[in-house]
Structure 1
Amino acid sequence: MAAEEPDAKKAKTGEEGYYKVIDGVKYDRELLESIEKFAADGQVGYPEAKKLWAEAQDGQGVTDVEKATLEYAMKTYKFTEKAATFLTVFLSTGKKSFYKVIDGVKYDRALLEEAQRSEADGQISWREAKALFEDAKDGCGLTGTEKTTLEYVLKNLKFTDKARTFLESKLVGNAPKSYYKIVDGVKYDHLLLAEIEDSAKDGLVSEAEAKRLWDVAGDGKGVTSIEQQTLKYALAQAKFTDPAKAFLEEKLASLLN
């Protein structure tokens, strides 16, 4: 969500002086002038795009008018591919829901957008990969959704070789130390239980999440008796949407046939 226009900006030279109206739309005059200056040599480069974003943030966050000004500039002036990618990524991020769903899979929105911003200069460096992993752990360990998000960015974003090797090794090393977890004297699949707990932490397990849990349980080798027991435990302890519950119950029942 863009920041509100601060009073200091409105009062700077009077509202009319601060803004420039084009085709009935109000833009930030100073930001527009900076854009025009940078575009004077034919195109706006990546270093200039970074300066524009810093100017738009202005210590107050990017306002609706500043956001509109940058979007207008990208439609009106020529930007290098790297500059356009940088601004597109930064303009698209903001305070939205905690999760982002892509092809039915739930990802950590903040972590995904951090990765996209890190890649905005062309690729994710080793230092940025370390920061991503630390932010994902967040002092509480890596949740199933955070692990899935990092796996997604490894498949879909560009990394330096060193950064990719680092993150892949961390994901392998972050598996639970014990394969099983004992709850009230009953043995459950530790990893699957962690996935279930993560899926349920927003209050309700969706059908898409239930399908993902089934895939995790199957793990390419079929669903073991311990994994079946873990899913039954989940159905008894967590809240599922009706379609999600029906899906898992049907899948578990099919194993008895």
Structure 2
Amino acid sequence: LVTVPSPKEASSARPALQRKSTQYYTIIDGTRYDRSLIEEAQEYAKGGAITLDGVTSLWANAHDGRGVTDTERRTLLHVLQEYRLDADAEQFLRRVLKLGPRPGDGPAAITAPEA
């Protein structure tokens, strides 16, 4: 005779597993983002500020097709705005997203050479 636990008993007896969602997008505050990029950024952020290695990996993974989609770009902008990045990582992400320097990071425009 074999005793089989009920589904409720079985689920309470085993440790909770973190399952990755199979959905491609995640919605944050009503805006659609690339779920895999958000999850990857969360993993990198666990160690503190996201490093240059972390954002270069995010950038490479955003190029998983013919280029960076609007949703992938929006996701990388979200990472830039909402996560702590070290200085090199922030500079890289701003450059590849063509955002220019942050205000206060130096001259905003190139001046003409003196004659």
TM superposition score normalised by structure 2:
0.70
Correspondence 1:20-169 to 2 at 5 A: 25-27=12-14, 65=15, 67=17, 91=18, 94-169=20-95
- 3-state SS of paired residue (1:100): strand
Where does residue 14 of structure 1 map in the other structure? none
Where does residue 220 of structure 1 map in the other structure? none
Q: Which runs of 5+ in 2 are unaligned?
A: 1-8, 100-115
Correspondence 1:174-213 to 2 at 5 A: none
Shift of 1:66: 5.2
Q: Label 1:170 to 1:25 Cα distance change in 2 as closer, same or farther (>3 A).
A: same
Aligned-partner residue type, residue 118 of structure 1: Y
Residue 172 (str. 1) matches residue 109 (str. 2): no
Cα separation, 2, equivalents of 1:66 and 1:112: 22
Q: Label 1:96 to 1:139 Cα distance change in 2 as closer, same or farther (>3 A).
A: closer
User: What's the RMSD between the two structures over aligned residues?
Assistant: 2.1
Cα separation, 1, equivalents of 2:80 and 2:89: 10
Where does residue 11 of structure 1 map in the other structure? none
Cα separation, 2, equivalents of 1:101 and 1:139: 21
For residues 58-85 of structure 1, the C-alpha deviation after alignment (integer angstroms, 9 at most, x for no partner) is: xxxxxxx352xxxxxxxxxxxxxxxxxx
Cα separation, 1, equivalents of 2:90 and 2:60: 15
For residues 164-218 of structure 1, the C-alpha deviation after alignment (integer angstroms, 9 at most, x for no partner) is: 1001100118xxxxxxxxxxxxxxxxxxxxxxxxxxxxxxxxxxxxxxxxxxxxx
Cα separation, 2, equivalents of 1:66 and 1:25: 8
Where does residue 105 of structure 2 map in the other structure? none
Structure showing greater relative contact order (alpha-carbon pairs closer than 8 Å, 6 or more residues apart)? 2
Higher helix share: 1
Q: Which runs of 5+ in 1 are unaligned?
A: 1-20, 28-64, 68-90, 174-257
Count of matched residue pairs: 90
